[in-house]
A and B are shown apart, each in its own frame.
Chain A
């Protein structure tokens, strides 16, 4: 048992290391209020732009807020909402993809052509549109990203359902008297989900990137809420004198996105799942 575990650790180094990093990040996200030394939104102008110290492990920003605490709380927003985007897009994609793949015919054509139409428009354009209607905010950004992202899932899932549908065990299930719903529940969804988990890991990096870039542009998270992209945005006026304000949140984005992508790549290599 122990030898086997060691084998897995050795042969799947990337997967193990990436998973460990992500586990730590998730724990940080959950326990941010207990770890953070200071209030992330407490303004203290007498301590502004300080160097790292025991009180402020990564120094303070232009309003005297603790950079370290802000990064910890920022992880909550970045990772949490990226997951929200991922799960919503996945659910919509799963439902539409399965219906399109299983029903086929004009239902399939209608849903997929509608999806193609949405895909033709970049998500930034949707976000800009929503911001134009309702003003800048996290809700608008999330909506814009989900609206385009589900199409990718739907396409992949539709493809998988199409090939699953040809399997004899689906025919056998029909002949055994199983209803369409039972077939979905017992045969199709369990066979589609593992590949989606792999694809989802890759998509998480994408979602975090996009969320942060929208916030950097000032469209997403509004001050004083800490978010990595928004922190870079706030720090950019001090790039000459205090580059650390941009570097730390930037490094965090890089770490998370690279970890998710590496994990996704090696998982898909390991399990032979093709992306898109």
Chain B
């Protein structure tokens, strides 16, 4: 059985304006179904506004879809009882794109990372501190960083703290919502490397949401393409993706810059001139 199963999820937002006639319905997710197996990573690619992040929220259990089911380890996360939901939360974590807004500016690294531990594990202060230090070291930070505040870290370091918080409870699935998109190329590859290591060490599964195809390739086992709220294609290998004829996929593929301008497939202003 798959770790996560998404079955025919539909979601639309209604906007209703006073004195402005009819309701407006904005369909964000249209009949989406897919599954993630234990220990694998699904890369979810799509342009801005395709509904990627909303789908991430649906999976995390914070945006209830109007139709469809999200099954995590066989439990329907929106219709389970409170105790089961609390149990599921533990195994389902997130790392956001903007590392600065994902941490409370008034809390130290220690308090940020220990928040999930406090909620699920009753540890003594000493044990908890030891766990936080272990986690910090695991994500490539230092014991000294424990008392620092978010503004004292760089974007990459802060993203490591977010990752440490996400893995604190040894979850099964982590939703990486554009987690590396706002970092520079060097930091990006370091974080991706860290994520790959963690995946092997803890047997994690990822849902890697991104618009960056190269980043997706470097970490994902499968690739899914989302366009305008529809899951248009689902590939099990990189080659399948590269040879696909689907127009949405072609557009995404063309957006990858070639290593040399000579190999470019689309005309840009530079080589037209």
User: Contact at B119–A182, with CB atoms within 8 Å?
Assistant: yes
Q: Say yes or no: B115 contacts A168, CB within 8 Å.
A: no
| Complex contact B60–A175 (CB within 8 A) | yes
Instruction: Say yes or no for A241: interface residue by CB 8 A criterion.
Output: no
A residues less than 8 Å from B162 (CB atoms): 172
In the complex, which residues of chain A have a beta carbon less than 8 angstroms from the beta carbon of B104? 169, 186-187, 190-191
A171: chain B residues at CB < 8 Å are 62, 94, 96
Scoring B residues 87 to 100 as 1 if CB is less than 8 Å from chain A, else 0, what string do you get? 00110111010100
Which of B86, B89, B101, B169 meets A168, CB within 8 Å?
B101
* Closest beta carbon of chain B to A39's beta carbon, Å: 49
Could you tell me the distance between the alpha carbons of A136 and B202 in the complex, rounded to whole angstroms?
72
Which residue on chain B has the smallest CB distance to residue A166? B101
Q: Does B165 contact A (CB under 8 A)?
A: yes
> In whole angstroms, what is the CA distance A171 to B86 when docked?
15
- The answer to whether A175 touches B101, judged by C-beta atoms less than 8 angstroms apart, is no
B60 near A169 (CB under 8 angstroms)?
no
Distance in angstroms from B54 CB to nearest chain A CB is 13
- CB pair A177 B120 closer than 8 Å: yes
Which one, A174, A176, A190, contacts B165 given CB within 8 A?
A: A176
Q: Which residues of B contact A177 (CB under 8 A)?
A: 86, 89-90, 116, 119-120, 169
Q: Is the CB of B165 within 8 A of A172?
A: yes
Q: Cβ of B94: which chain A residues have Cβ within 8 Å of it? A: 171-172, 175
Q: Which residues of A contact B61 (CB under 8 A)?
A: 175
List, in ascending order, chain A residues with CB within 8 A of B96's CB: 168, 171-172
A173 within 8 A of B: yes
Bound Cα distance A178, B115 (Å): 8
CA distance A58 to B212 in the complex (A): 78
A176 touching B62, Cβ below 8 Å: no
Secondary structure call for the B interface: mixed
B103 interface residue (CB < 8 Å to A): yes
Q: Which residues of B lie under 8 Å from residue A174 when comparing CB positions?
A: 62
The count of residues in chain A whose C-beta lies closer than 8 Å to any C-beta of chain B is 17
For A11, list chain B residues within 8 Å (CB).
Answer: none
**Which B residues are CB-close (under 8 A) to A186?**
104, 107, 115
Q: Is the CB of B92 within 8 A of A175?
A: yes
1/0 per residue B166-187: CB within 8 Å of A? 0001000000000000000000
User: What residues on A are CB-neighbors of B116 within 8 Å?
Assistant: 176-177
A167 within 8 A of B: yes
Asked if B245 is an interface residue, CB under 8 A from chain A, the answer is no
- Using CB atoms, name the residue of chain B closest to A182: B119
| B112 and chain A: residue at smallest CB distance | A169
Task: Give A175 to B57 CA distance when docked, in angstroms.
Answer: 10
Q: Is the CB of B92 within 8 A of A173?
A: no
Query: Nearest 6 CB-CB pairs, A to B?
Result: A176-B116, A177-B119, A168-B102, A177-B89, A168-B101, A168-B96
A-B contact pairs, 23 of them (CB 8 A): A169-B103, A169-B104, A171-B94, A171-B96, A172-B94, A172-B96, A174-B62, A175-B60, A175-B62, A175-B92, A176-B93, A176-B119, A177-B86, A177-B119, A177-B120, A177-B169, A178-B115, A178-B119, A182-B119, A186-B107, A186-B115, A190-B106, A191-B104
Starting from the known contacts A169-B102, A171-B62, A176-B115, 6 additional A-B residue pairs (CB-CB under 8 Å) come to A168-B101, A172-B96, A175-B92, A176-B165, A187-B104, A191-B106
